Amino acid sequence: MSSRIDQIVAAHVKKFKTNDPFEIAASNNIIVKYWLFNHEVFGMYRYERRNRFVFINRNISISQQIFTCGHEVYHALFHTRMNTMFLSRNTLYPVGKFEREASEYSTKLLLYGISENSDMTKENVCREYGIPYEMQEYM
């Protein structure tokens, strides 16, 4: 049985014809900015004057930027008026419901269309698709 997040991801991929979180952000008028954060901070979401902003640490790897974008885009779409604190190395094990949902969304979005019968190990899939290893529980 599909989870609610699985259904959202499938609907977004169908509607936007991509699983690229940057393209989904652009299609939803979400402004993505690169910012200089401490190395522990991956990114954050901010809502201001009817504008939605995703800030991504420009000093993290490209794969981490992609994952972070997906995570923060979920907040922009489903927690619109709620500014979220930072997605950081310390929150990769999300405690709250909203953080868990955002991490699950980003993981499943990046993995969309990959065969479950793939011979790749979870470690290889994480590395190949830029998914933090800690997100295996959503795979």
pLDDT tens track for 53-84: 999 999 988 888 999 999 999 999 998 888 77
Pick the CATH number of 4-131 from 3.40.50.300, 2.20.28.120, 1.10.10.2910, 1.10.520.10: 1.10.10.2910
Amino acid at 15: K
pLDDT at residue 133, rounded to an integer: 74
* pTM given for the model: 0.85
pLDDT tens track for 18-45: 999 999 999 999 999 999 988 778 899 9
Which of 71-89 are b and which e, b meaning 16 or more Cβ less than 10 Å from the residue's Cβ?
bbbbbbbebeeeebebbbe
- Average pLDDT over the chain reads 84
Q: Answer yes or no: is pLDDT of 1 > 50.
A: no
DSSP secondary structure string for all residues of 40-84? TEEEEEEEETTEEEEEEETTS-HHHHHHHHHHHHHHHHHSTTS-E
